[in-house]
Amino acid sequence: MLSVKLLGHERVAVREVPDPEPRGDRVLIQVKASGVCGSEMGSYRGASEHPSNTGHEVVGVVVDAGNATRLNVGDHVGVHAVWGCGDCRWCGVGQYTHCPDLRHSGGAHAEMLSAPEHVCLRLPKDVPWDDGVLVTGDGMGVPYRVSQRLGTVGGEFVCVTGAGPVGLGNVIVQSYLGAEVIAVDINPYRLELAQACGAAHTIDARETDPVEAVQDITSGAGADKCIEAAGKPETFRMALDVVRKAGVVMVVGEQSLVELNPSRDLIHSDATIMGSLYYHYSDYPAMLDLYRRGLPIGDMITHRFPLTDAAAAFRLFADGRAGKVILEP
C-alpha cells in the first residue's frame, strides 16, 4: 500500500510499504480520508525523518474485522487519536486522556490502517468522508470539548486568537452555540475563512490593536471568554488583555514559556485561565447530534488532495493558505 513519510526539512514522500495486519484486537481499515493536522507541522519542518506516519485524523471502511466483537466488515468508522491503558486510576474514572501510558494513533496518511477495535467510532454511512474526519476526530472533538468546559451560552462575546484549523473549529462551534465570535489573526486569508465559518467580527492584528478593537466591539466591557488557539506568547498575553473582569481564558494552542503577573492577570481581574486536551469517546454521541442538527463543521475544509499529492497538501497547509486539508487515498 501507499503511505506518507515525512522526511524532514519540509520534504514529503509517498512510499510503497507492506499492508498492516489486523493482529490481536485490531481491525483493518481501508482509509477513505485523513486530515492534515497542525500538530504534524513540527515533524514536517523538523531536521530529521519522522520514524512513523503522523496522520491521526481518519475515517474508512472496515475490510477485515479480525477478532472484533462489535464491528463488522463494511462498517464505516473513525479512529480516535489517543487512548489509555484501560487499567489506571485515570482510565478508571473515564479520563483516559490523562493516562500515564497514553497511546497515540498514527499511520492514517495511507491506503490502509490497523486500529484497536475499541478506539474505532462507528460513523453513520450517510456522513460524507471529509466531514466524518472532523466529526470523529480532533477537528470537531477539540472545539466541542472546549465549548463544554466553557459552558458557552448564546449572546456571549467569545474572542478566538488564531484562525488555523483549531481556531476555525472553535469559531464554528462557538458561533453555532450562539456566541458573538471575534476572530483575531494576522493572515487575511484565514480571517476571511473565519468569517465564512461564522465569526461576527474579524481583526487583523497587524493593522488594528486587537485589545482596543475588542473593547469597541463589546462597548468597553471586554470579551466574556477568549480561546487562545495561536500558541504564541504574545497571543496568550492578548487573550488575558481582551477578556473582561471575571472573564475566562481557554488555552488550546500549545505554548512554551509565557509571562504572567498573578496580581494583575488573576487576582485583580478575577480571571480564570484554563486548558483543554483532546476530547473523550463519551463526547462523540453529542458531537454527532450537533452535526445532525446542522453544525457546519465541514466549513473549515478548504482543500482535498489525492494521497499521492501529500507533498503539495502539506506545503499548502504549512504556508497558511488553507483551512483543513484532507487527503483522499
d(CA 310, CA 329): 10
Site for Zn ion in 2-61 (CB under 5 A): 37, 39
d(CA 35, CA 123): 16
Q: Establish if 91 lies at the interface with Zn ion (CB under 5 A).
A: yes
Smallest distance, Zn ion to C-beta of residue 16, A: 26
Q: Which helix (H) or strand (E) holds 237?
A: helix 233-242
> How would you classify the pairing of strands 201-204 and 223-228?
unpaired
Smallest distance, Zn ion to C-beta of residue 37, A: 3
Q: Select the span of 92-100, 159-167, 171-179, 190-198 touching Zn ion (CB under 5 A).
A: 92-100
Smallest distance, Zn ion to C-beta of residue 99, A: 3
Q: Establish if 134 lies at the interface with Zn ion (CB under 5 A).
A: no
Q: How far apart are the first and last CA of the chain?
A: 10
d(CA 237, CA 299): 29
Smallest distance, Zn ion to C-beta of residue 59, A: 14
User: 201-221 burial string, b = 16+ CB within 10 Å, else e?
Assistant: bbbbbeeeebbebbbebbeee
* In contact, 164 and 229? CB cutoff 8 Å: yes
Q: Select the span of 15-23, 78-86, 126-134, 220-228 touching Zn ion (CB under 5 A).
A: 78-86
Q: Establish if 84 lies at the interface with Zn ion (CB under 5 A).
A: yes
- Taking the least distance from each CB to Zn ion, the nearer of 160 and 248 is 160
- Taking the least distance from each CB to Zn ion, the nearer of 68 and 91 is 91
Please report, as a single letter, which amino acid is at residue 54.
Answer: T
Could you tell me which residues are beta bridge partners of residue 202?
A: 183
Could you tell me which residues are beta bridge partners of residue 83?
A: 103
Please report, as a single letter, which amino acid is at residue 226.
Answer: C
Among the listed residues 85, 267, 274, 286, the single contact to Zn ion using CB under 5 A: 85
Q: Select the span of 63-71, 83-91, 127-135, 164-172 touching Zn ion (CB under 5 A).
A: 83-91
Among the listed residues 138, 180, 228, 299, the single contact to Zn ion using CB under 5 A: 138
- Taking the least distance from each CB to Zn ion, the nearer of 95 and 208 is 95
Among the listed residues 88, 200, 211, 311, the single contact to Zn ion using CB under 5 A: 88
Could you tell me which residues are beta bridge partners of residue 114?
A: 28
Residue with cell 483549531: 166
| Count of residues in contact with Zn ion, rule CB under 5 A | 8
Other beta carbons within 10 angstroms of residue 92's beta carbon come to: 12
Q: Establish if 277 lies at the interface with Zn ion (CB under 5 A).
A: no
* In contact, 123 and 135? CB cutoff 8 Å: yes
Smallest distance, Zn ion to C-beta of residue 9, A: 22
Q: Establish if 99 lies at the interface with Zn ion (CB under 5 A).
A: yes
Smallest distance, Zn ion to C-beta of residue 25, A: 16
Binding site for Zn ion (CB under 5 A): 37, 39, 84-85, 88, 91, 99, 138
